Amino acid sequence: MVFLWTALYVCAILFANLTLNNFIPLPVFGLLSVGTLFFGAVFTLRDRLHDFGLKAVYRAIALALVVNFVMGWVLMESEPNRMRFIIASFTAILISELTDTAVFQSFMEKSWLYRALSSNVVSIPLDTFLFNIMAFYGIMSWRDIGQIIFGDLVFKAVIATVVAFAIYYGLKKPKQILNA
């Protein structure tokens, strides 16, 4: 099972990075990166890997960084800001995922759902601000960057929360759900 959860985690990051500079204009939110729709699940998928031990978590983060660097380099060849996007993604993933792991581990006496939601509260804004400022500063206006950050925060939080509840209650037997 660790391979399945690792693959889901790595693929979610990969799809997010390959669609990071494609935007959907939304009323109220402004610009929403298509990558956000994938990245919303990333932190919660990584939290699931804690069930297999801390080494599994660190291996998955390392694998995601390597796969995304290589695939970004190969598949974003025609993107003029390729290196900038790769560095922004690498840095944001490394810092936010390690922070998410530390917060998750600090609440080991709590339920998995509590740990996942608590770590996401810290890591989602960290990742969002780091990545968007590093990736788009000087390319887009502060107004556009602000819209992207706002949309990213909202959608990542909603998606991460839905995925966390789905994983948490999906892994429980029906009797356990009634007693939760």
Are 133 and 100 spatial neighbours (Cβ–Cβ below 8 Å)? no
Is it the case that residue 91 has pLDDT exceeding 90?
yes
- Residues counted in the chain: 180
Tens-place pLDDT, residues 9-49:
999 999 988 888 889 998 888 888 898 888 888 888 999 99
Nearest one of 89, 100, 49 to 65, comparing CA atoms: 89
Q: How far apart are CA 70 and CA 169, in angstroms?
A: 35
What is the domain-level CATH number for residue 25?
A: 1.10.1760
What range does the domain containing 31 cover? 2-179
Which single residue is written with the structure tokens 């989602």? 124
Q: Tell me the pLDDT of the chain averaged across its residues.
A: 90
Burial (CB < 10 A; 0-12, 13-18, 19+), residue 30, is middle
Tens-place pLDDT, residues 103-131:
999 999 999 999 999 999 999 999 999 99
Are 135 and 88 spatial neighbours (Cβ–Cβ below 8 Å)? yes
Is it the case that residue 176 has pLDDT exceeding 70?
no
Tell me the average pLDDT across 150-169: 92
Is it the case that residue 175 has pLDDT exceeding 70?
no
How far is C-alpha 40 from the chain's CA centre?
Answer: 5
**What percent of the chain is predicted at pLDDT more than 70?**
95
Tens-place pLDDT, residues 58-70:
999 999 999 989 9
Residue 178 is predicted with a pLDDT of 44
pLDDT band at residue 172, thresholds of 50, 70 and 90? low
Calculate the alpha carbon distances from 13 to 73, 133, 142 in Å.
15, 18, 25
**What percent of the chain is predicted at pLDDT more than 90?**
67
Nearest one of 132, 167, 157 to 46, comparing CA atoms: 167
Q: How many domains in the chain? A: 1
pLDDT band at residue 75, thresholds of 50, 70 and 90? confident
Are 55 and 37 spatial neighbours (Cβ–Cβ below 8 Å)? no
Is it the case that residue 4 has pLDDT exceeding 60?
yes
Are 85 and 17 spatial neighbours (Cβ–Cβ below 8 Å)? yes
- Higher-pLDDT residue of 55, 73: 55
Is it the case that residue 177 has pLDDT exceeding 50?
no
pLDDT band at residue 173, thresholds of 50, 70 and 90? low
